A and B are shown apart, each in its own frame.
Chain A
Amino acid sequence: DAKTTQPNSMESNEEEPVHLPCNHSTISGTDYIHWYRQLPSQGPEYVIHGLTSNVNNRMASLAIAEDRKSSTLILHRATLRDAAVYYCILRGAQKLVFGQGTRLTINP
């Protein structure tokens, strides 16, 4: 499975946008980029996924670099409820393997 690299932690302020980066320089042409998050004491939650084009849904936006070697998850207006560990995963095979993720702290 191709690997992803994310910062261990990030901090942001409530009601401000948050940009969570992910590097995946060994991505293959058929790998989808998935993002999940895990709120404290809960199971992981699917956020968004994409292949080549930028994607938007009610939770977030996913911006994918033209060479697909990096991507950014964008939370447009962070709330305290967005404090979680965010996982960026490449999904090309049948397995779904999680890395360490980025722990996002939101300051009031």
Chain B
Amino acid sequence: QQPVQSPQAVILREGEDAVINCSSSKALYSVHWYRQKHGEAPVFLMILLKGGEQKGHEKISASFNEKKQQSSLYLTASQLSYSGTYFCGTEAGGTSYGKLTFGQGTILTVHP
């Protein structure tokens, strides 16, 4: 089953912060975050493993609450280059390790 992302879209001014959430109804082994710019391929941002680990990438960080099967992506002091569609991909692990199910995406637009 596809994870649910919220919000569907967010508009920011440069320098503002945003949070994107990803929720699954299934037990998860890991959550992967990707960003896709218009007309381009999705690009890997970070992976969160079981254990509530928090990771960071520049001013982008994320958390994973395995009990709630939720992950959140935090974008701090947003830059114009952060604009794009953000996808979470969830991995159930076990025999389907490596297989991701992607959410519908969150469109992030950053204005000057």
- Do A and B bind? no
